[in-house]
Amino acid sequence: MILRLLAMTGGLAGAAGLSQYPEFAQQYTQRLAGQVDALGAVVSDFDATAARSGLTREAALAQMTGTAFLEDRQADMGRAIRRHGTLSEALEQLEAASPMERLVMPHRMADPETFAGTWSAYVPAVPLSAPGAVSAAAGYAGGWAIAGLLGWLLAAPFRRRRHVGGPRTEPPVTRTG
C-alpha cells in the first residue's frame, strides 16, 4: 500500500514537472529569437563595415591585429559570429517544429546563457495544451516507474523469503505434555 502511494506521488510529481516543458520550450524559443536578432545586428554591422573597406568578413577579422585591443576585439567578433550561426541554426529547427515535435528536441535548447535567462524568468503554468498533456502523461509514467522501483528496492531487505522446496508435507511438530 505504501509503495503504491509512493509510486503515485512520484508519478504526480513527474507529471507536474514535465508538463511544464512545452511552455518552457516556447519561452526559450522566444528568448533565442531575441538573441539571434541582437547578434544578427552586430554581425551585419561588422559585415557592412568590412564591405565598405572592400574586405570580406574573414579578411576584416584577419586585419584586426597589432595591438592587444584589436586582437581581443578580433576574438570577440569571431565568437559573436560563431554564436550567431549556432543559435540561428537552433532557432530555425525549433521554429520549424510543431509543439509536439519540440518534446523530443531538448538538445536544441543547449545555449547556457539563453537557458539561464529563460529559467530565471520562467513561471510555471497549468498545461492546457496537447503537448502539455503528453508531457504530463510521460512525466507521470516516468515518476511512477522511478518511485515504484526505488520503493521496491528499499523494501527488498524486509520481504519474507519463500522456501525453495515448496510447502511442508509433514505435519508440524507439536508438544504434548
Does 117 lie in the same domain as 59?
yes
pLDDT value, residue 103: 85
Does 119 lie in the same domain as 37?
yes
Domain coverage including residue 42: 25-123
Report the number of distinct structural domains present in the chain.
Answer: 2
Q: Are 133 and 15 in contact (CB under 8 A)?
A: no
Please give the Cα distance from 59 to 165 (Å, whole number).
Answer: 84
- Mean pLDDT, consecutive 10-residue stretches, the chain (177 aa), reads 80 79 90 97 97 95 94 96 96 92 89 93 74 80 87 84 65 70
Does 87 lie in the same domain as 139?
no
Does 79 lie in the same domain as 16?
no
- Is residue 174 assigned to a domain? no
* Cα dihedral sign, 142-144-145-150: positive
